[in-house]
Amino acid sequence: MNHHHPNTALALLFALAITFTAGVAAAEEGSDSSSSSSDLSLAVTIGESAYFIDGSAYRGPVTLEAVPSIGWSMLEVDLGLCATLESIKVAGTNIGDWNFTFRPGVRVAPPILPLYLRAAIPLQIYENDFDWGFMFGVGAQLPVLPMLALVLEVDTALTKNLEWGGKGVPLEFRAGASISF
């Protein structure tokens, strides 16, 4: 379906823009000797998706994600490790089957606000298949204790198996906690 290629190009440009902007911000922050320290953190969230395929909504499998990350000022580089906790059929596709997903990416957060933007490249491994794409999200880390925060996040992804949004689009809701070291 050639009419979906502009969406793919737009998503790729958006991901590159976020990555470039985050890199420039990190470089500018890195020029100040007082901002050379980094923060390590680990977020653990549970999530559930809704898939919108061919005009209908379907529930996706419940997932568990661990996200170790390292951050400098407004930028965090992370590696999401996400696994399904159940396998369900979603509109005759394999997207609800048992899988494990690597989600390398970045989070950009403005100073003071607990909000962040997340961009990642999900690399999804099924028993007999593989899928990849571009994930975008918005989240909040709400401080509970000095080293502990409540995490709330909403994500969506454009993937190869769902024809880059032409066949369907997920909306994923996540909640959990983050601890900083």
CATH placement of domain 2-180? 2.40.160.20
What is the pLDDT, as a whole number, of residue 111?
84
pTM: 0.78
Domain boundaries, the chain: 2-180
Q: What is the pLDDT of residues 6-63, one digit of tens each?
A: 444 444 444 444 444 444 344 444 444 444 577 999 999 999 999 999 889 999 999 9
Q: 132 by DSSP, 3-state: which?
A: strand
Q: What is the pLDDT of residues 92-108, one digit of tens each?
A: 888 899 999 999 999 99
- Rounded to whole angstroms, the Cα distance separating 51 from 157 reads 10
Contacts 24+ apart (CB under 8 A), 137-142: 137/172, 139/107, 139/115, 139/174, 140/114, 140/115, 140/116, 141/43, 141/109, 141/114, 141/116, 141/178, 142/114
Do the beta carbons of residue 44 and residue 177 sit within 8 Å?
yes
